[in-house]
Structure 1
Amino acid sequence: MKKITLLCMLFVVSIGYAQIALPMDFEGSPVTGDFIDFDGGGATVKANPQSGGINTSATVVELIRNGGQVWAGSKIVLDSKLDFSTNKGLRMKVYTAAPIGTAVTLKIEDAANGAINVEIPGVTTVTNAWETIEYDFAGAASGTYDALVFLFDLGSTGDGTATSTFLFDDVEQFDNSGGLAQIDLPVDFEGSTTNFAVTDFGGNSSSLVVDPTDSGNMVIQSIKGAVSETWAGTTIGTAAGFATNIPISNSDSKMNIRVWSPDANTPVRLKIEDAADDTHTCETEVLTTSAGAWEVLEFDFSNEASGTATLANGIANGWIYNKASIFFDFGTANSNKTYYFDDLKFGEASLSIDSFEQTTFKAYPNPTRDSWTIKTQNKNIESIQVFDVLGKNVISLAVNGNQAAIDGSNLKTGLYFAQIKTDSGINSIKLIKQ
């Protein structure tokens, strides 16, 4: 009798234990109690209230953001580390009543040390309907991450309403070998073929968003949290760094980046390093000069920050640099401020934004039913990219001259933005399709 009882107990335990691993469809496991909510987020496994479309499954996760912090969300810890050796992508089905273009960010973390993480931004393309959103984690190290963090509508404070409510389901890895290209200089965060993931540390929270001052431009929003280290910052890309080495030398030692800060005289530090050896670094720092406005900052790595390795020493020892990180308000903890950055380039900042805006571009006819002509008098146009209001690239043109025709006959009626690149910078103008 004792043997039978023991066997029954073992059988009950074995069928009662459910491993938390990918893929997750929430049909039995994981359950609500497996989620760790934080800062105003609340996840509940429940019956699918929006069965239809691409998701007719019985059970989903509902995540409601109600007050708290702008990074409110929920996470779940897996029973084993993720393996990205083959399947480098993650995807899930998402449903929300929030407007099209709402951020749906997915972060992977080391559960034992949340500062070790990779965060990939995504955006919704529909509202009140299920869609599959994919995330490219190329460059993420295998055997490092065992927590998934769901950060929906990152950057906004939830209010508990329908637009702060998200459903998600069917979280899984997949082979995205035909996916996004590794980030490389110059970085402008435009288009849909490059992996623009950023890697935060020290209490920073960053995501790819529409430029709040120009709806035709994509930028990185970087929030230095209310609980953050003096060295909180963001790596511009994944842990793999850039696809090619930064061509820096003792005689050509400058990089520039466009930034927006709420305050003038804010110290901004830029660090370059070898992605394969984090002891091979060089750092330099400048102050912002504008408050609440975009400006281009120039960083000269021959003028290294106090107490950091010199560029001359790195060059002399054959160090390579293929990774960059930016630190806003360096040296101050718990800033609780929001910054933006864009257009990281190698070389001198030869053109300020003000001088670029003096270039006159004309688009005619505008509005149009079929095509526009873009013309400028004083610059040579190199390329034109047209984006819809969601930031999706719909037209790309190579140009060599001061005039170009854009065929919009296949575009839907609405507002578009032409991003015009010349030999001295990039600017955007609005296009209207009737």
Structure 2
Amino acid sequence: MYMMKTIFTIFLFVAFAVGLNAQYALPVDFENPQEDTAWTQFANGDDLAENMVLAENPAKDGINTSDNCIKFVVVDNAAQWAGAVSAYYGTLEITDDNHIMQMMVLKDKISPSGLKIEGGDGDPAQIELKASNTVTGEWELLTFDFSDAIGVNYPRLVFFPDFPDDARTEGGTVYIDNIGWAGASPVGPDRKGLVAVYPNPATDLLTVQYPGIYRIAISNIVGQRVKTLEFQATGHKVFDVSDLKTGLYFMTLETADGSISTKFIRE
């Protein structure tokens, strides 16, 4: 089974290797209508498009109040490791401060789910972790500790919605949302309108406004981290971007409410 997974991983790497640039930033919240196209389904029977779709959140009264998520229908003849892979979220840098990832799931049965990071520039080249839900019919936050990969950078992220320990005996429907670093749950859509980034485009000083910002991470169009700012929480942060090359940049704001992804242009 491991050999089959390795061969399939190599196949996916070839598929992603040509002309692929990062377009999104963690956390993966599926609020962008095109974000489901950033993921490639695999090992799920015939991998029909209808089995992995952007869907409305079926339970907004719990811990997940976002509007959208991914609905993944695992077919009965899917491989144990059926899931989806993406290289659209830039380089995942595993550090002492950034090694625990989380994923929200809503499932119709109790079973393990998984996250995997692969294509690393060091050892381990890939690492795969499992965690099981404890409830059905409501959202639950699963945690994955990638501390064994500290110091390694990974270009690809994989999720496994239903990852049994033994051969699969049945399928099921799983909703996936909010994949990201621990402590970085995305801000709800009702709060995103409070973000202000100006001037945009910017040449030297850029201002970011949102209550309780304490960290700003900036990545370029290919997902490379180019600037990280950490400071005492504030609602108004001005900083210099004149050292950046001209082009489009993605920002992740860590705030008292959670994380927010936005972007700006350096001209």
Selected match of 1:76 from 69, 86, 100: 86
Corresponding residue for residue 103 of structure 2: 92
Give the CA deviation at 1:31: 1.9
1:114-263 equivalence runs, <5 A: 116-155=125-164, 156-157=167-168, 159-160=170-171, 164-174=172-182
Give the CA deviation at 1:116: 2.6
Query: Which amino acid is the alignment partner of residue 138 of structure 1?
Result: S
Give the CA deviation at 1:76: 1.7
Selected match of 1:25 from 15, 25, 29: 29
1:284-323 equivalence runs, <5 A: none
Give the CA deviation at 1:132: 0.7
**Following the alignment from structure 1 to structure 2, what is the Cα–Cα distance between the partners of residues 108 and 81?**
10
Query: Which amino acid is the alignment partner of residue 172 of structure 1?
Result: G
Using a 3 Å threshold, how does the CA distance of structure 1 residues 48 and 140 change in structure 2: closer, same or farther? same
Selected match of 1:39 from 38, 43, 46: 43
**Following the alignment from structure 1 to structure 2, what is the Cα–Cα distance between the partners of residues 112 and 157?**
32
How many residues matched? 154
Unpaired segments of 5 or more residues in structure 1? 1-16, 177-434
Give the CA deviation at 1:110: 1.4
Using a 3 Å threshold, how does the CA distance of structure 1 residues 37 and 119 change in structure 2: closer, same or farther? same
* Residue 54 of structure 2 is aligned to residue 50 of structure 1: no
Corresponding residue for residue 235 of structure 1: none
Give the CA deviation at 1:97: 1.0
Whether the aligned pair in 2 keeps the contact of 1:81 and 1:143 (CA below 8 Å) is no
1:328-367 equivalence runs, <5 A: none
Give the CA deviation at 1:33: 1.5
Corresponding residue for residue 228 of structure 2: none
**Following the alignment from structure 1 to structure 2, what is the Cα–Cα distance between the partners of residues 30 and 139?**
33
Query: Which amino acid is the alignment partner of residue 170 of structure 1?
Result: N
**Following the alignment from structure 1 to structure 2, what is the Cα–Cα distance between the partners of residues 52 and 149?**
28
Give the CA deviation at 1:175: 6.1
**Following the alignment from structure 2 to structure 1, what is the Cα–Cα distance between the partners of residues 154 and 79?**
24
**Following the alignment from structure 1 to structure 2, what is the Cα–Cα distance between the partners of residues 45 and 142?**
33
Query: Which amino acid is the alignment partner of residue 125 of structure 1?
Result: T
Whether the aligned pair in 1 keeps the contact of 2:161 and 2:176 (CA below 8 Å) is no
SS at match of 2:32: coil
TM-score (normalizing by structure 1): 0.32
Query: Which amino acid is the alignment partner of residue 134 of structure 1?
Result: T
**Following the alignment from structure 1 to structure 2, what is the Cα–Cα distance between the partners of residues 93 and 171?**
7
Using a 3 Å threshold, how does the CA distance of structure 1 residues 27 and 94 change in structure 2: closer, same or farther? same
SS at match of 2:132: coil
The superposition leaves residues 262-298 of structure 1 with CA deviations (integer Å, 9 ceiling, x where unpaired) of: xxxxxxxxxxxxxxxxxxxxxxxxxxxxxxxxxxxxx
Give the CA deviation at 1:32: 2.1
Give the CA deviation at 1:79: 4.0
Corresponding residue for residue 238 of structure 2: none
The superposition leaves residues 101-144 of structure 1 with CA deviations (integer Å, 9 ceiling, x where unpaired) of: x111111111899x931111101111111111111111214452
**Following the alignment from structure 2 to structure 1, what is the Cα–Cα distance between the partners of residues 58 and 182?**
27
**Following the alignment from structure 1 to structure 2, what is the Cα–Cα distance between the partners of residues 153 and 131?**
14
Give the CA deviation at 1:29: 5.8
Give the CA deviation at 1:158: 6.6
**Following the alignment from structure 1 to structure 2, what is the Cα–Cα distance between the partners of residues 153 and 23?**
20
Query: Which amino acid is the alignment partner of residue 54 of structure 2?
Result: V
Whether the aligned pair in 1 keeps the contact of 2:120 and 2:152 (CA below 8 Å) is no
Give the CA deviation at 1:87: 1.4
Whether the aligned pair in 2 keeps the contact of 1:90 and 1:134 (CA below 8 Å) is yes
Over the aligned positions, Cα root-mean-square deviation in angstroms equals: 2.8
**Following the alignment from structure 2 to structure 1, what is the Cα–Cα distance between the partners of residues 34 and 143?**
21
Using a 3 Å threshold, how does the CA distance of structure 1 residues 171 and 29 change in structure 2: closer, same or farther? farther
Whether the aligned pair in 2 keeps the contact of 1:77 and 1:111 (CA below 8 Å) is no
Q: Which runs of 4+ in 1 moved over 4 A?
A: none
Whether the aligned pair in 2 keeps the contact of 1:108 and 1:117 (CA below 8 Å) is yes
